[in-house]
Amino acid sequence: MNVSAEALYVEPTLRSARRPLAGHIARSLLLILLAGYTAFSAGPFLWLASMSLRTTSEISANHYALPSILHWEKFPAAWFGSSYGTYFLNSLEVVVAAVIVLTLIGAMAAFAFARYRFRMNRVLYFVIFSTIIFPPQITIISLFQVLVDYGLFNSLVGLTLVYIAFQLPLTVYILESFFARVPQDLFDAARMDGYSDGAIFWRVMLPIGLPAIATTVILNFILLWNEFLYAVVLIADDAKRTLPLGIQKFMGDQLEDIGMISTGMMISVIPVVILYVFFSEKLIQGMTAGAVK
């Protein structure tokens, strides 16, 4: 359901129409409170952005000043000198591969659940969906054992496979509820044109389902980009670390190089920010999809 900005506005209440001054004061007070909350909410992130452009000695001198010189060179320094480039690329490899495969098989499964009638339909759907509530601890130890048994421990491939399985329930859930709402006539028409089931999937379902698919792609990307627990258990080599692990590694170093850590953190946050800036509506809709009845 599309929620445009205009729909958020309600007509002015009759009460305040009767007492305009009180209404004005109340509104200004509210604005101040909200502005305060916004500073609270977005503040840490802006502080991070500011620190990522200052050197550690500048920060130690005054932790909260704005950058006097914009040290853009810190970014390449972090990328090449402090291996953030490696970690970024590892994260990119794993997350992109996982999201591609995940979207594909998730869409196929969602299509099957949404548009076909068969006996085990609801049972299987519930089984997959219910794993959303599983705490990761129930699988982390045995996944470690499983990956070791298959020689996939400490490999980006192994991590990718785990990530695919990890996000499958949510993907299937979001896509299934969208796919099921598509009017049947479209499929009937396609069938009458002689399309096979596979063709219906590729040529009818996917194009129509693109908004929901886009949402799950963005959602999965962000959730997997930030994923930490599985990565920390299943990756041991420094060269294979994903970004969250890479950042954690620098926190472990003896003398906290706040400037460099900030720059590294910005590097990890930037892709998410870009996605958010361009797709905020989609993203918000997607994330709220499960929560709004």
Partner 1 sequence: MIRSPVRTLAASVAVSLLALVTSASAVAQTKLTLWSHWADQDSKVAFVTDAVKRFEAKHPGVKVEITWYQKPQLYAALKTALRAHQAPDIFYAENDQTEYIDNGFLYDLSKDLNWSAIEPWAKQAWTFGKGTYGFPLEAWTVELYYNRDLMNKIGVTLPENGELSQAAFLDMVKKAKAAGITPIVQGVGDRPYPGAFLVHEPLLRKLGKADYMKLLKGELSWKDPRVIETLNYVKQIVDAGALPKAYTSIKMGEAHYYFHTNPGGLTFPMGSFYPSRAFNAPDKGGEPPNFPLGLMSFPAMDGGKCNNCKTLAAGGSFVVNAASKNPKLAVALLNEMATPEMGARWVKETLVQTGIKTDMSAIKGEHADYFKRLADASRGIDYFVGLPSQILQGQPKEVFAQVMNTAFPAGLLSVKDATDQMEAAMKAASK
Partner 2 sequence: MKRAGAREDAGLRTPWLALSGFLLPALVMYAAFTAYPVARTFWNAFHKVLPNGNETWVGFANLRAILNNDPTFWKAVGNTLAWALVSPVLEVSLGLLLALALYARIPFARFFRIAWFTPVLISYVVVGILWMWIYNYDWGVANELLRLVGLDAWTRPWLGNPATALPALIFVTTWMWTGFNMVVLLAALSSLPSEVLEAAELDNCGWGRKLWFVIVPLVRPTILNLIVLSFIGKMKIFDLVWITTHGGPLWSTETVSTYVYKRAFDWSTFDLGYPSAIAAIWFVFVLAGVLILTSLLRSRERLEF
Residues 63-102 close enough to bind partner 1 by CB under 8 A: 93, 96-97, 100-101
C-alpha 267/C-alpha 158 separation (Å) is 25
Instruction: Report the residue number, 72 or 202, with the smaller CB distance to partner 1.
Output: 202
- DSSP letter at 54 equals S
Site mask for partner 1 (CB under 8 A), range 170-209, x = bound? --------------------------------xx--xx--
Ramachandran quadrant class, 208 (left: phi over 0; alpha: psi -120 to 50; beta: rest): alpha
Binding mask 7-46 for partner 2 (x = CB under 8 A): xxxxxxxxx-----------x--xx-xx--xx-xxx-xx-
Among 85, 249, 270, 276, binds partner 1 (CB under 8 A): 249
Q: Which amino acid is at 150?
A: Y
Closest CA to 265 of 59, 45, 91: 45
Min separation Cβ 240 and partner 1, Å: 9
The span of 13-21, 72-80, 149-157, 177-185 binding partner 1 (CB under 8 A) equals: 149-157
How far apart are CB 92 and partner 1 at their closest, in Å?
11
Query: What is the rounded CA–CA span in Å between residue 52 and residue 67?
Result: 9
Instruction: Answer for the pair 162, 230: CB distance below 8 angstroms, yes or no.
Output: yes
- For residue 167 the two structure tokens come to 């996000």
137 interacts with, out of partner 2, partner 1, none, CB within 5 to 8 A per kind: partner 2
Binding flag, residue 256, partner 1 (CB under 8 A): yes
Please count the other Cβ atoms lying within 10 Å of the Cβ belonging to residue 197: 14
Residues 96 and 202 sit within 8 Å (Cβ to Cβ): no
252 binds partner 1 (CB under 8 A): yes
Among 97, 146, 190, 206, binds partner 2 (CB under 8 A): 146
Using CB under 8 A, which residues numbered 25 to 44 contact partner 1? Answer: none
Q: Which of residues 86-145 bind partner 2 (CB under 8 A)?
A: 104-106, 108-109, 111-112, 114-118, 121, 124, 127-128, 131-145
Q: How many residues bind partner 1 (CB under 8 A)?
A: 28
Nearest to 219 by CA among 88, 103, 114: 103
Q: Cβ closer to partner 2: 77 or 140?
A: 140
DSSP SS3 for 69: coil
Is 190:200 a contact under the CB 8 Å cutoff? yes
Tell me if 154 contacts partner 1 by CB under 8 A: yes
